Amino acid sequence: MTEPFDGIHPVQFVPRTSPRTAHPRAAAPCAALAVGALLLAVAPASAQPRTLRVDYFHTGNAASEVFALDRVVLEPLAWPGNPARAIDDSNLGKYRFDVIDRTTRRVIYSRGFASVYGEWETTAEAQSMHRTFSESLRFPAPAAAVQVVLHKRDRANDFREVWSIVIDPRDMLVDAAAPPSAGPLIRLHESGRSAQKVDVLILGDGYTGAERAKCEGDVRRLVGVLFETEPFKTRRADFNVWGLCPAAHESGISRPSLGVHRRSPAGATYDAFRSERYVLSFENRAFRDLASQAPYEVVEIITNSATYGGGGIFGLYSTVAADSAWAPYIFVHEFGHHFAGLGDEYFTSDVAYQPATDRVEPWEPNVTALLDPATLKWKDLVAATTPLPTPWDQAGYVARQQALQAERRALRASRQPESAIDALFTRERDDSEARLGGEPHAAHVGAFEGANYEARGYYRPQANCIMFTRDRVPFCAVCRRAIERVIDLYAPAQAR
């Protein structure tokens, strides 16, 4: 787990207040018309407020961190969320922010989330240097000044305050300018008003203007994959899905390990944290300005690339290389991270993170330290006859995985084509499907040791799951339930 906040007193910034109209600043007529048309298209007349965004800088290392305001943005569209579910009761995320009414001291909005910084601080690099990352908090624009309080989990995984700032939506410095155009909005799947649905944005990155048709085709194909997967298939009517394909100057995204660098619209890049397959964007401002042109609570960035890769951060975004042979699996796996805060259940692959120095119960809903089997968080799904911990042939699985990992490293070192890697992954999938499917407790929910990147001390709910392997298996029962609980946060039953 990460080191706690070092006790630096949070800086409070109180902006100057001044009278302000509800209209954006003057912009180029065509941009203003485009944004106005978009507002009418996706946010018909309602009482929903606009969306306010706080962009800030998150700086530090493995031992300390500080926060500083960058800008406050009034986004062009109405807030897409459900007013009846403004408070997040999921207890998910490494961080949580509260928006507090300064008159009543009542929390009027809250959400848990994770961040790029929150992952980076667990890497070896964070032990030796400081870095700065841009992050954002989005919430319904209030009528008057509010206190925004950021919390982070401590060593015991309890939330405690690390930063506080007063935000006044009437301040003259609030940026209401129209963002650079992301192109026409693509309506992929509409089930109803945004306030009663989960709004998902699929954002293309690395597609030139001439490749727009390819982008749209990739977007539609991957949305189809999502809705073929449970529980999204059954809950399809609880979602709206939108698409944007901003035009890139060059085709593709960055891959620094091969000397390939691109300035793609959303800034997606391979080799995040020096991990070859990890795809993230470190261009938060650019990503947020593009995304602000669609209603969204969830964002999937699809990249115009074929090399196996993707990533997912809870409450931020997930990514997938659209042309990879493994794109369907990657899309769903990484979406699980981003949408429901699911943890990785695998433990044999190389990762950038340092091992935990202590054992506390993870906040992720599908991994456990099993400190007390009697209080296992998915105990209600475990049959009385299933032992805890649940036995499985971990040694045999690890030995086979180690051999395959060595083979993969040799293929990468000799610069073999991606097809050779895909062939290896196919053999690995077939082998693990046979091994895990033959386990005595394969169909049971239990506590199988090996999860959260570690072979010992962490446990997953079932022998196999999309969060564990690339096998052709569904989400396990625990993951499915976790996903449905988040769907209910945005599209509660009474709205259906």
Residue 309: which CATH number?
A: 3.40.390.10
Residue 88: which CATH number?
A: 2.60.40.3250
Residue 230 pLDDT greater than 70, yes or no: yes
- Give the least confident one: 53-62, 343-352, 353-362, 408-417: 353-362
- Strand spans (E) along 245-364: 268-269, 280-281, 298-303, 310-313, 317-321
Mean pLDDT over residues 255-267, rounded?
97
- For 314, the domain range is 186-340
Domain boundary among 135, 167, 199: 167
3-state secondary structure 120-139: HCCECHHHCCCEEEEEEEEE
**Residue 18 resides in a domain:** no
Residue 11 pLDDT greater than 50, yes or no: no
Percent of the chain with pLDDT over 70: 89
For 134, list phi and psi in degrees, rounded to 5.
-90, 135
Whether residues 317 and 383 fall in one domain? no
Whether residues 57 and 159 fall in one domain? yes
| pLDDT bracket for residue 6 (50, 70, 90) | very low
Whether residues 335 and 450 fall in one domain? no
CB 340 within 8 A of CB 482: yes
Q: How many domains, the chain?
A: 3
pLDDT digits (tens, 9 = 90+) for 46-77: 578 999 999 999 999 999 999 999 999 999 99
Mean pLDDT over residues 276-288, rounded?
97
Q: Which pLDDT belongs to residue 349?
A: 72
pLDDT digits (tens, 9 = 90+) for 177-219: 999 999 999 999 999 999 999 999 999 999 999 999 999 999 9
Whether residues 190 and 56 fall in one domain? no
Whether residues 315 and 383 fall in one domain? no
Whether residues 472 and 419 fall in one domain? yes
**Residue 442 resides in a domain:** yes
Q: Which pLDDT belongs to residue 348?
A: 87
Whether residues 136 and 199 fall in one domain? no
CB 266 within 8 A of CB 290: yes
**Residue 348 resides in a domain:** no
Q: Which pLDDT belongs to residue 7?
A: 29
**Residue 174 resides in a domain:** no
Q: Which pLDDT belongs to residue 358?
A: 76
Whether residues 272 and 400 fall in one domain? no
- Radius of gyration, CA atoms only, the chain: 22
Mean pLDDT over residues 96-111, rounded?
97
Residue 227 pLDDT greater than 60, yes or no: yes
Residue 8 pLDDT greater than 70, yes or no: no
Kindly report the average pLDDT of the chain as a whole number.
Answer: 90
Residue 284 pLDDT greater than 70, yes or no: yes
For 322, list phi and psi in degrees, rounded to 5.
-65, -30
Q: Which pLDDT belongs to residue 42?
A: 45
pLDDT digits (tens, 9 = 90+) for 120-166: 999 999 999 999 999 999 999 999 999 999 999 998 899 999 999 99
Whether residues 291 and 433 fall in one domain? no
Residue 35 pLDDT greater than 80, yes or no: no
Residues 105 and 99: their CA atoms lie apart, in Å, by 10
Whether residues 122 and 245 fall in one domain? no
Residues 318 and 149: their CA atoms lie apart, in Å, by 25
**Residue 124 resides in a domain:** yes
**Residue 430 resides in a domain:** yes
**Residue 146 resides in a domain:** yes
Whether residues 229 and 322 fall in one domain? yes
Residues 140 and 454: their CA atoms lie apart, in Å, by 39
> Who contacts 234 (Cβ-Cβ below 8 Å, separation ≥6)?
none
Whether residues 228 and 336 fall in one domain? yes
**Residue 4 resides in a domain:** no
Q: Which pLDDT belongs to residue 46?
A: 53
